[in-house]
Structure 1
Amino acid sequence: MNRILDQILRHFISSGRLHVAWPDGSLTHYSGSKPGPEAGMKLLDNASARALAMNPGLGFGEGYMNGGIQPMDCTLYQLLDLLMLNAMSPGHLPEQIASTVRYVCRNWIQFNPVKRSRQNVAHHYDLDSRLYDLFLDKDRQYSCAYFRRGDETLDEAQEAKKKHIAAKLLLTKPGLEVLDIGCGWGGMALTLARDYGAIVTGITLSEEQLTIARRRAQEEGLEGRVRFEMLDYRNLTRKFDRIVSVGMFEHVGVHHYHQFFEVLKNSLTDDGVALLHSIGRNDGPGTTNPWINKYIFPGGYSPSLSETFAAVERSGLWVTDCEILRLHYAKTIALWRERFAANRAKAVALYDERFARMFEFYLDAAELSFRVQGHMNFQMQMTRSIDAVPLTRDYMAEAEGPASN
């Protein structure tokens, strides 16, 4: 199997250089024809080499978690940078086969009825809440921040993200009823109620997030303006003036896109405004990396714009604005990685070494998916009515104000 992996790597590395130390102590160098980064990888056992040859998308992450694969004379980030860059080149047969199988099965992999959605959410978002304090901002915004200048702190960029979204929601008067689908730990809902006078209902499928969001509303004295519920979006039965959803659409699943936007339309008042903030991809429909699907976000998927727009079109909603945030999430995750690394020992104490390896692998790979693999974020504003928002986008800039220095 090592000989098979050797042949795979000879075809795989088209950019940069990879140095591999094999379980028997031998060393092989792989050089691409194009310039690129340089990194090394140590394979400590034949099982890890075999898994890497058979299913690289899953085998590499599991090998790193289990200690059978180690970066050599470089960091994990540098090794992933080289491998993920080369993975974008066509012609890698094992991964092409695995990807084709995943694509054929993706409707089932992303089939997320209510019960399964709750299980998927619990897998990641019901982890010990102290874990998220190790790397998130003070408001626990677990989504792409917004860097208006580029040099903001994490807290500043997350505050700017909320303000950016609020400007697109056209909160022109107090008392507007807002629905927050996938409200997380409540930061967006609390901000809209406290700073914009909205009356907010936040819904989630995470027990842990619900408990914390409700406690935060009580601590801030906002129980009369913010209500948090354990509710699936498919069970909504009333209308709202505004709807916001940040970082939740990635968990819907392609099979359910049409239903999601139908619910969005039916839950908006005639002159209502909705804002969807989601991870996306700059190419066509694809699949989720099998390691991410197994260990981090089961049932999750970053949609293409074509898939998303097609579903919106079928719903009859107007897309009144769409903005692409290219490197904002890469910058966000870079700050998360830095914080997690500084608190890594605490993560090991909360769980164990294998979990800490899993989480740092997730953060490194996530950042690089935005830097070298075509992932981005999009913010899509939608309405039921053609005239629900002003003719130009000027109102957004006016509401947002100048970037602070």
Structure 2
Amino acid sequence: MSNQKSALMAAGVLGGIAVGSLLVRTAMYPIMTRRAERFIVEMLKEADILVGRDIVIHNRDIYLDWTNRGMLAIGESYMNKDWESLIPLDQLLTKLMLLPSDKKRALFKSWDAKFVALAGRVFNYQSPSRAGIVGAHHYDIGNDFYKLWLDPNMQYSCAYFKDLEDSELDKAQENKLHLIAKKLKLEKGMTVLEIGCGWGGLGIFFAKHYGVHVTGITISNEQLKGAREQAEREGVSDLTQYTYCDYRKMTGEFDRVVSIAMLEAVGYKNMDEYYSVINRCLKKGGLALVHSITSNRSTKTAHQLWILKYIFPNGFIPSITQMCQFAEKKLVVEDVHNIGPDYDKTLMVWNARFQEHIKSGNIQKSPVFVRMWEYYLQYCAAGFRARTIQLHQVVYSKHRPGRYEAVR
């Protein structure tokens, strides 16, 4: 038999197998979909979510997708309008978050998540060459977009609502800024390094109210532009200096170091270096404060695939244990403060403001973007409400004598 005939026969056999496999999969698809639907419907009941009462399904194919791709599929199918919540979305997502851990693992399981976890152990997703990805993807949407629904100080992090109503976000953000200043024991004339300066709100506030000199660094071009413009408008350009710089390259010594909502972009593989930079840049006797979302368990890789894909590429949420562990032999942990429930309130005000600007036409984005953003804000709020994630402020010192007096 010629090689050509052999090849043709082999191709025919393989083609027949492929066609047969496709036919089997096609025949099995309705059965698999029905089984997935029964599983998901029963799992939702465990969370006190009833199809038809609390949630409406527009596309039954999502049941099988949910079982295969977990939370990534749940978020994407919401963006695509394959399902709607008949109760407030944050309430429905909170019910899901409150499921027992074994039930959540069954509902949110995803082979994709296992692959990402494995890859995260091998690759450094937050390496210097990839550091600018989150800035370009998330923060460089445009300063005008964020100005619409953030507070006047442009604080894109958890506010502090102590003694305030849930709706008083602007005051709560000022509360947070004063709280951080008091924890750092700021004094006029001090030098402060801010790692991850955002739009400059914290540094400008410190310069205006506490008379300190602030050096802020960022890897977002839009945030850098906004910080410099705002410092000029507020008349504190002489007290503030904003620079595009990866934290790993930072040098110099400062009386204080502060880092707000930055650690989540550092990654497990880089946490040791992150704390080494704080130690290197902090003068003897100095104080540092790190404000970060925290996980209830210590892991080495990210697992929130929807957030990673659509909101914060390369993000990683550390645990409070890791925030202390990586400071060992470098800094002394002086104070640990959990204000996680206040992030639920913060996110819900952000969502309300976002929705108002959508209705008024001030935000003109695609329907998919709008549903992505409202899902993001309320999904995160649900996590803090269910206490599956926290927000910790940790104060560290370097060769500081005497007792540190905690501030609340």
TM superposition score category, shorter chain reference: 0.7 to 0.9
Residue aligning to 1:267: 281
Q: Aligned equivalents of 2:297 and 2:269: distance in 1?
A: 19
Aligned-residue offset at 1:66: 1.1
Describe the shift of the 1:349–1:221 C-alpha distance in structure 2 as closer, same or farther (beyond 3 A). closer
Task: Tell me the alpha carbon deviations over residues 259-310 of structure 1, each in whole angstroms, 9 at most, x when there is no partner.
Answer: 1001110111112111111111233337331100000011112211122221
Q: Quick check: 88-97 or 266-275, which moved more? A: 88-97
Q: Does residue 1:79 correspond to 2:110, yes or no?
A: no
- Evaluate the alpha carbon distance shift between residue 12 and residue 258 of structure 1 in structure 2; reply closer, same or farther with a 3 A threshold: same
Q: Deviations over 1:357-387 (max 9, x none)?
A: 0000000101001011421111111122041
Which secondary structure state, in structure 1, belongs to the residue aligned with residue 138 of structure 2? helix
Q: Secondary structure, in 3 states, of the residue corresponding to 1:350?
A: coil
> How many residues of Structure 1 are paired with residues of Structure 2 in the alignment?
374
Distance 1:41 1:2 in 2: 18
Instruction: Name 2:307's counterpart in structure 1.
Output: 292
Structure 1 residue 391 and structure 2 residue 406: aligned? no
Structure 1 residues 331, 108: CA separation in 2 closer, same or farther (over 3 Å shift)?
farther
Q: Distance in 2 between matches of 1:97 and 1:295?
A: 17
Alignment match, 2:351? 337
- Letter of the 1:362 counterpart: Y
Given that 2:308 and 2:315 are in contact with CA atoms closer than 8 Å, whether structure 1 keeps it comes out as yes
Mark the CA change 1:109 to 1:143 in structure 2 (over 3 Å): closer, same or farther.
farther
> 2:174 is matched by which residue type in structure 1?
E
TM-score scaled by structure 2? 0.85
User: In the superposition, relative to structure 1, how do residues 325 and 232 fare at CA in structure 2: closer, same or farther (>3 Å)?
Assistant: same
- 2:174 is equivalent to residue 162 of structure 1: no
Structure 2 CA distance, aligned partners of 1:361 and 1:102? 22
| Bigger Cα Rg | 2
CA contact (8 A) 1:56 1:95 kept: yes
Query: 1:123-162 alignment to 2 at 5 Å?
Result: 123-151=137-165, 153-162=168-177
For the pair 1:41 / 2:55, whether they are aligned, the reply is yes
Matches within 5 A, 1:221-370: 221-285=235-299, 287-313=302-328, 315-345=329-359, 349-370=363-384
Q: Contact conserved, 1:348 with 1:355, CA < 8 A, in 2?
A: no
Residue of structure 2 in register with 1:180 after alignment:
194
Task: State the 1:200 CA deviation.
Answer: 0.6
Task: Give the letter for the 1:288 counterpart.
Answer: H
Q: State whether structure 2 residue 394 is matched by structure 1 residue 380.
A: yes
Q: In structure 2, do the counterparts of structure 1 residues 192 and 106 end up closer, same or farther at CA, with 3 Å as the change threshold? A: same
3-state DSSP class of the match of 1:185?
A: coil
> Is this contact kept in 1: 2:135–2:221, CA < 8 A?
no
Cα 1:132–1:100 shift into 2, 3 Å: same
Where is the strand percentage greater, Structure 1 or Structure 2?
Answer: 1
More helix by share: 2
Offset of residue 102 of structure 1: 3.8
Distance, in Å, in 1 between the alignment partners of 2:340 and 2:236 is: 35
Preserved CA contact (<8 Å) 1:88 1:373: no
Q: Which of 17, 28, 32 is residue 48 of structure 2 equivalent to?
A: 17
Give the letter for the 1:212 counterpart. Answer: G
- Report how far residue 336 of structure 1 moved: 1.1
Q: Which amino acid aligns with 1:84?
A: M
Deviation by residue 1:183-204 (Cα, 9 ceiling, x = unmatched): 0010100011111110110100
1:171 aligned partner: 186
Asked whether the equivalents of residues 203 and 230 of structure 1 are also in contact (C-alpha less than 8 Å), the reply is yes
C-alpha change, 1:12 and 1:47, in structure 2 (3 Å) is closer
Q: Quick one: structure 1 residues 41 and 2, their matched pair in 2 at CA, closer, same or farther if it must change by over 3 Å?
A: farther
In structure 1, runs of 5+ residues without a counterpart are 22-38, 398-405
Letter of the 2:369 partner, please give it.
F
Q: Does 1:220 align with 2:251?
A: no
Aligned to 1:245, the other structure's residue is in SS state strand
Contact in 2 for aligned 1:348/1:356 (Cα 8 Å) = no
Query: Structure 1 residues 350, 128: closer, same or farther in 2, change over 3 A?
Result: farther
Distance 2:198 2:360 in 1: 23
C-alpha separation in 2, matches of 1:159 and 1:335: 15
